[in-house]
């Protein structure tokens, strides 16, 4: 792809007019390769250095490497650094402070071991990309990779060398606040996007300037918290754990992710921070991971609060023996590991293995050779190239959910005035979204600003905030908003959630538009003017109470620094919407959990075998005959399905084909279909491939995503789109929780969402 051009292209970078400036700005670190980082630096050299250093270390110095402390001032950690009692610091972003901490660690401690400097660089540093869920809506790994590369460069300039991202928890519950930080409900999509983010952070050489170590989190099952309550219990059968929740983590390990973070939650009764099955049996034994595992904030000590242990010492014992190498904040390792070793309860080899994992990461990062940061070696944060990446990410993340009567795109030539209404039209901070400790609102360009710049003097713009916040219930200002709509040709409502309503510890039981926003929509609708809703939110919202009250909906998530220009371009047709939903949108909250790749059940629902409560006679008899899995008051379908998203193009699919009607293990099948754009606008479409295994030794999902491609199609053009599907992609974890590839019949679909109907079949047969 070309990083500066608005369309996807195979154009060589040397032929792109914008590429020279971009690469001069981002230096040579903007090189993206799918590699295993452990293969870049010679393993034997690293292992020799690890062994040599480990042999020199005292037990106190070893345990010190396993200790991470939150500190933003040198005097808070100076003594710990000099004595070798600290291996990592988090949440310091003043480069002078970082360099002084590194100096003390390298020059004043006995062994001179440099520090890991950790920070939550989740979806940008100073320049903020869309929230991760919004990035997943791009269905474009290149865009995700570029965004992480910008973040890595900006964070590196402040001395940060380790980020706690990507979050690759599969999330099927929109009530959960951290769905904003996730990459959606599907393990294939989350794997592809998560790997791209890791590659952006880590580059093709961890020791290169401008790269930072990634941390895949939260291992594992955190996204399945009961009722979407953050930190709550997760109960996931092992078969479901392996087939769904672990898949992105295995992909991250295979991509060379430097670290993993343990989940806060328990998993079937054993909290992740003390779960040896996860940390040792699977991660080390099955996947051969040689990076290190860090706990989440104070989660080791919290094992006692869970009720797994009766003391802080017991918590340290459980965590270290489970395989948690470093403790984030809390200090229980520092206080108790030495006595546990002395008492013979923790083997020295366990400590040595953990420390070796940590040292290995530091050697791979090149910290022993280059512990200090010179900000002048890096491009200025928020530079034009970084903003270009943020704008493209925002542009491709927006999903058009409705466009009744083709009200969009708006035409400057056909309008005289527009009303811009709502609490999120001109809010530079709120558009950044959750988890942006370092995001700079001064860099934000809001939708109001961008629309005013785009239309210039060609249109009159009437702006009314209408609500102080998205949660306001004061309807008094609505009169001014209605007046603006009455006097304008079109009303654009900027609705949704403030950033604080999603993210960690910000779960919601009611996921309708908060405050009096639905009433605002109804009042504006009564004006009789076309109504366009632009919704910024950190999760899928239940929109049933407003979907029929608006003509068009652009779902913009929290779009980041350049959200405004991206939204303006889409509203006025400079570009076509091309995002697709990475998570299912429920009609009502009571449908949750709702996701596309569910099991069929013995009584699957369809339009013929459900009834609605409004259709039942007052004295209807009780019966279960002919009934199925649905809700009387909501049916069985979501409001909008996974993979859904409209366009200004008119896309159709036809002529699906498979290259073979029968395949054997080891074969590759080519599946293709025609994609035609019969509309007047050039546009990009995300073409999706789904497969169903009809019969298995354990029940299989009704559909599973197996591939996707972003394709640009000109008006009237037909493009043949093909996917190669290897039989390995048909394997899964069976009854004994080992991977199996079973013969049988398969269905395959190609289309623009998980509900596409264009289908073919093939059969997998034994050799």
Q: Which helix (H) or strand (E) holds 761?
A: strand 759-764
Whether the Cβ atoms of residue 581 and residue 539 lie closer than 8 Å to each other: no
First to last CA, the chain: 40
What is the rounded CA–CA span in Å between residue 725 and residue 691? 10
Structure tokens of 155?
A: 């964070």
What is the rounded CA–CA span in Å between residue 272 and residue 44? 32
Whether the Cβ atoms of residue 656 and residue 759 lie closer than 8 Å to each other: yes
Whether the Cβ atoms of residue 207 and residue 365 lie closer than 8 Å to each other: yes
Whether the Cβ atoms of residue 2 and residue 11 lie closer than 8 Å to each other: yes
Q: Report the Cα 501 to chain-centroid distance in Å.
A: 17
Whether the Cβ atoms of residue 355 and residue 321 lie closer than 8 Å to each other: no
Q: Interhelix angle for 348-364 vs 332-342, to 10°? A: 140
Angle made by CA atoms 361, 366, 371, in degrees to the nearest 5: 110
Structure tokens of 289?
A: 């991971």
Cβ contacts of residue 498 below 8 Å, gap of 6+?
423, 424, 427, 430, 469, 470, 471
Whether the Cβ atoms of residue 127 and residue 381 lie closer than 8 Å to each other: yes
Closest by Cα among 649, 393, 419 to 534: 419
What is the rounded CA–CA span in Å between residue 439 and residue 263? 25
Catalytic, 296? Answer yes
Q: Report the Cα 725 to chain-centroid distance in Å.
A: 25
Q: What DSSP line would sit under 446-491, residue for residue?
A: -HHHHHHHHHTTSSEEEEE---SSTT----TTHHHHHHHHHTSSEE
Q: Which helix (H) or strand (E) holds 715?
A: none
Structure tokens of 74?
A: 């040198």
What is the rounded CA–CA span in Å between residue 265 and residue 21? 46
Among 120, 296, 325, 440, the one annotated catalytic: 296
What is the rounded CA–CA span in Å between residue 495 and residue 520? 10
Whether the Cβ atoms of residue 353 and residue 73 lie closer than 8 Å to each other: no
Q: What are the catalytic residues?
A: 296
């Amino acid at each position: 792809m070309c990083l500066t051009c608005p369309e996807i292209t195979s154009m060589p970078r040397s032929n792109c007019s914008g590429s020279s400036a971009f690469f001069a700005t981002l230096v040579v670190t903007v090189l993206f390769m799918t590699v295993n980082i452990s293969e870049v630096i010679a393993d034997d050299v690293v292992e020799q250095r690890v062994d040599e250093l480990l042999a020199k270390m005292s037990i106190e110095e070893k345990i010190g490497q396993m200790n991470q402390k939150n500190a933003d001032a040198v005097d808070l950690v100076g003594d710990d650094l000099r004595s070798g009692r600290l291996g990592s610091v988090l949440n310091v972003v003043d480069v002078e402070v970082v360099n002084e901490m590194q100096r003390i660690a390298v020059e004043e401690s006995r062994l001179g071991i440099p520090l890991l400097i950790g920070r939550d660089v989740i979806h940008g540093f100073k320049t903020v990309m869309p929230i991760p869920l919004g990035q997943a809506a791009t269905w474009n790994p290149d865009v995700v990779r570029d965004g992480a590369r910008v973040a890595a460069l900006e964070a590196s300039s402040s001395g940060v060398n380790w980020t706690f991202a990507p979050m690759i928890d599969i999330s099927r519950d929109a009530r959960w606040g951290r769905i904003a930080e996730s990459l959606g409900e599907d393990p294939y999509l989350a794997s592809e996007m998560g790997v791209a983010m890791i590659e952006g952070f880590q580059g093709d050489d961890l020791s290169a300037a401008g790269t930072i170590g990634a941390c895949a989190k939260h291992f594992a099952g955190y996204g399945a918290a009961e009722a979407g309550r953050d930190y709550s219990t997760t109960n996931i059968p092992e078969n479901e754990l392996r087939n769904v929740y672990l898949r992105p983590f295995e992909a991250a390990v295979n991509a060379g992710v430097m670290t993993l973070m343990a989940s806060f939650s328990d998993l079937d009764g054993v909290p992740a921070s003390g779960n040896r099955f996860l940390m040792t049996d699977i991660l080390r034994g099955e996947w051969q991971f040689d990076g290190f595992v860090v706990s989440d904030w104070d989660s080791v000590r919290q094992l006692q609060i869970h009720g797994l242990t009766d003391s802080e010492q017991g918590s340290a014992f459980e965590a270290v023996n489970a395989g948690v190498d470093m403790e984030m904040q809390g200090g229980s390792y520092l206080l108790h590991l030495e006595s546990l070793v002395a008492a013979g309860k923790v083997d020295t080899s366990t400590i040595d293995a953990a420390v070796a994992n940590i040292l290995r990461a530091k050697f791979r990062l090149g910290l022993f050779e280059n512990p200090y940061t010179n900000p002048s070696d890096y491009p200025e944060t928020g530079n034009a190239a970084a903003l270009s990446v943020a704008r493209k990410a925002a542009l491709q993340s927006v999903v058009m959910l409705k466009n009744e009567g083709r009200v969009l795109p708006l035409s400057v030539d056909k309008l005289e005035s527009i009303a811009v209404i709502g609490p999120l039209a001109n809010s530079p901070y709120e558009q950044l979204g959750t988890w942006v400790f370092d995001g700079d609102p001064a860099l934000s360009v809001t939708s109001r600003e961008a629309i005013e710049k785009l239309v210039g003097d060609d249109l009159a713009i009437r702006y009314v905030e209408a609500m102080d916040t998205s949660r306001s219930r004061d309807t008094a200002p609505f009169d001014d908003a209605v007046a603006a709509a009455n006097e304008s040709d079109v009303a654009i409502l900027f609705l949704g959630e403030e950033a604080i309503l999603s993210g960690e510890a910000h779960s919601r039981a009611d996921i309708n538009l908060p405050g009096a926003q639905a009433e605002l929509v109804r009042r504006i609708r009564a004006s009789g003017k076309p109504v366009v809703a632009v919704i910024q939110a950190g999760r899928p919202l239940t929109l049933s109470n407003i979907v029929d009250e608006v003509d068009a909906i652009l779902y913009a998530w929290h779009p980041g620094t350049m959200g405004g220009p991206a939204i303006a371009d889409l509203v006025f047709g400079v570009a076509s919407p091309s995002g697709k939903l990475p998570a299912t949108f429920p009609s009502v909250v009571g449908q949750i959990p709702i996701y596309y790749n569910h099991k069929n059940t013995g009584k699957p629902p369809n339009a013929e075998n459900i009834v609605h409560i409004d259709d039942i006679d007052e004295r209807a008899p009780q019966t279960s005959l002919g009934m199925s899995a649905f809700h009387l008051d909501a049916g069985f379908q979501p409001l909008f399905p996974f993979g859904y998203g409209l366009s200004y193009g008119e896309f159709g699919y036809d002529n699906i084909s498979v290259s073979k009607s029968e395949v054997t293990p080891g074969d590759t099948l080519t599946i293709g279909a025609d994609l035609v754009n019969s509309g007047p606008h050039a546009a990009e479409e995300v073409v999706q491939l789904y497969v169903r295994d009809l019969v298995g030794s354990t029940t299989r999902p009704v559909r599973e995503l197996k591939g996707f491609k972003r394709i640009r199609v000109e008006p009237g053009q037909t493009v043949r789109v093909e996917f190669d599907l290897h039989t390995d992609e048909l394997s899964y974890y069976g009854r004994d929780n080992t991977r199996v590839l079973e013969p049988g019949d398969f269905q395959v679909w190609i289309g623009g969402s998980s509900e596409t109907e264009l289908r073919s079949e093939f059969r997998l047969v034994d050799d």
